[in-house]
Amino acid sequence: MKKLALLLCIFYSVSAYSQGLPGLGAGTTPNNRPILHGKKWVAITGKPLAATAGAMTFQKDGNAVDAACAMIAATSTMWDVLSWGGETQALIYNPNTKKVIAINAMGVAPTGATVDFYKSQGMDYPPQFGPLAATTPGTPGGIMTMLAEFGTLSLEQVLQPAMDLALGYPIEAQTANAIENNKSRIKEWPYSKKVFLPHLGEKREAPEAGEIFVQQDLYQMLLKLVEAERAALKAKKSRKEAIYAAYDRFYKGDIAKEIVRGTREQGGLFTEADLANWKVKIEEPLQVNYRGIDVYKMQEWTQGPALLQSLNILENFDLKSMGYNSTPYIHTVYQAMSLAFADRDFYYGDPAFVQSPMKGLLSKEYAKERAKLIGSVNNPTIGAGDPYPFQGGSNPYLHLLTKKSEATASLTPAEVTESYIENFQRGTTSVETADAEGWVVSVTPSGGWIPAVIAGNTGVGLSQRMQSFVLDQTLNPYNLPEPGKRPRVTLTPSMALKDGKPYLAFAVQGGDSQDQNLLQFFLNVVEFDMNVQEAVEAPNFNSYQMQSSFGDHEIRPGAITLREDTPEWVRRDLLKRGYTMEFWNKTSGPLTAIWIDWKHGSFWGGASNYGDDYGIAW
């Protein structure tokens, strides 16, 4: 390995960030964490060890895609909020084609996973946990497809940090305590119990913070992938063919057989055909232009287009003149999000099964009509609109839309409890990379969080993403479970281009709050001239006036979370406008972002002071 000194920007949380002011230049606001500056590359993610995996990969002369893959593999190995059986979705800027492409590595509903099946189990929604919550694994395929198509290194080189972690790493308190707190559920699944509870029978059965946590089964699974690649290379296959040989071993070979056996043993529905027939999709992202900046999101099987819809609506207002986080600004952005997310709740789903009216939803004309609905007080009965006329069609579900609007009108404000917020903002992680060659990557991998069902002797923790489907077509006729269908997920990486060149890559963890925080981050930069670190630390607000994608899928009309240093006069005004407020010490994300400085030929990286997010640049 080259002996390059790394610019290690170690982030410390110290004091609360003062109320942000518009127009502040670089370095004039007292950030809690320093800006990351890099000339050759930058790697930011949710865990320090995973950021180090990205740095190690860059030092092997890997590009930003190689580094992103290594970081996804590392975070998936460190459990907490995701595992190898989860899902990965990415936006990649390719400097050779000068285009943004999307990686859809979301697993699908298995054979037998239908509305009637879940209702026969007495369920109103697919479950939050357990084998019946699992979609087919997507992350391994996502990593290998990204690497094969756009990376430069071998799979073995990229997986090496994750394999080292699987052989044993000092587990963090957050993950260790999550295991201990969920151990009663973990004991329901024999393979999870074997991995997660090394001190079975003792008072504390989970690992302690700092204890070396070993995942031998996972290491052996990763080794099988490397062996498949080595065998293909020995047979004179190309680098790309060798990586896909490993892909086939996971989805069609002995690994797939054990995943299916172990899942079905514990009550799951997977078949070998479910894994063999699943494919990663390389897609065209969706895009809108906001004041000269092209903003890209994943397709409508994610919630990403809600951010694009919000920007289209907000383009009809002079946000800058309102003042950053003033009452009019908060109210206007909140209402725009309510309108966009109401459409998300009814219209978004897997386009491979039912085509959502995205042309109408993302039209500027539809946004203007929606913007007219924003009044001076909160409207708790905001519902989905009808975008079909804006794409020259008629709405096939107008009768359901009417029924849903009637149900929404009957909602009354309810308490925002701790358990509700935990479901609403269920975490994941983010991965942001960029390099001097021009590759830029934004990823929000997730799934398989604690407590996860481990699939047999593979070490692979399964996704819980089936819960994002609904079983009542009145709620969303586009998002009903069917075998082979992807649920509409919250996961939502972001990218923006300005003058045809990469401008921003940004992502955040946090369930349904993701595109709320990402929207405000983007506006912080574009409307209020904040640098990337100011923008990720700045106080956000969160709305719950939308259907949660988790648990009981509840709505809390008019509820808003603000940072506790919100001025008293803003609080009074929001109360008069019909909001129910609560206040937190930190509301910034945790956001991660990269801004490309074309003037100086460098990168600016930021990670908010909300969680463990961490970056390294050179």
3-state secondary structure (DSSP) of residue 7? strand
Asked whether the beta carbons of 458 and 262 are under 8 A apart, the reply is yes
| pTM given for the model | 0.94
- Once rounded to an integer, what is the mean pLDDT over residues 511-522? 95
The pair of structure tokens assigned to 111 is: 């054979």
Give the type of residue at 1: M
Asked whether the beta carbons of 123 and 152 are under 8 A apart, the reply is no
Give me the pLDDT at residue 422, please. 65
pLDDT in tens, 572-583: 999 999 999 999
pLDDT in tens, 250-275: 999 999 999 999 999 999 999 999 99
Give me the pLDDT at residue 424, please. 63
3-state secondary structure (DSSP) of residue 123? coil
Give me the pLDDT at residue 413, please. 63
H/E/C letters for each residue in 73-111? HHHHHCCCCECCECEEEEEEEECCCCEEEEEEECCCCCC
What is the b/e burial string over 560-570, where b = at least 16 CB atoms within 10 angstroms of the residue's CB?
Answer: bbbbeebeeeb
Q: Is the pLDDT of residue 13 over 70?
A: no
Q: Is the pLDDT of residue 510 over 90?
A: no
Q: How far is CA 88 from the centre of its chain?
A: 8
Lateral strand order in the sheet of 501-508: 36-38, 602-607, 591-597, 501-508, 494-498, 293-297, 286-290
Residue ranges per structural domain of the chain: 49-88+105-281+449-468
3-state secondary structure (DSSP) of residue 305? helix
Q: What's the angle, vertex CA 247, arms to CA 302 and CA 162, rounded to 5?
A: 80
Asked whether the beta carbons of 366 and 389 are under 8 A apart, the reply is no
Instruction: Give the number of other CB atoms < 10 A from CB of residue 32.
Output: 18
What is the b/e burial string over 66-81, where b = at least 16 CB atoms within 10 angstroms of the residue's CB?
Answer: bbbbbbbbbbbbbbbb
Alpha-carbon torsion angle 441, 549, 193, 226, nearest 10: -20
**How many Å apart are CA 495 and CA 503, to the nearest integer?**
8
Residue closest to 382 by CA, chosen among 349, 414, 346, 356: 346
Least confident of 80-89, 93-102, 129-138, 563-572: 80-89
Mean predicted lDDT score pLDDT of the chain: 92
**How many Å apart are CA 484 and CA 138, to the nearest integer?**
13
pLDDT in tens, 338-361: 999 999 999 999 999 999 999 999
**How many Å apart are CA 263 and CA 158, to the nearest integer?**
28
Give the type of residue at 254: D
**How many Å apart are CA 155 and CA 13, to the nearest integer?**
36
Least confident of 213-217, 288-292, 457-461, 582-586: 582-586
Least confident of 426-430, 461-465, 559-563, 584-588: 426-430
What is the b/e burial string over 400-431, where b = at least 16 CB atoms within 10 angstroms of the residue's CB?
Answer: bbeebeeebeeeeeeebeeebbebbbbbbbbb
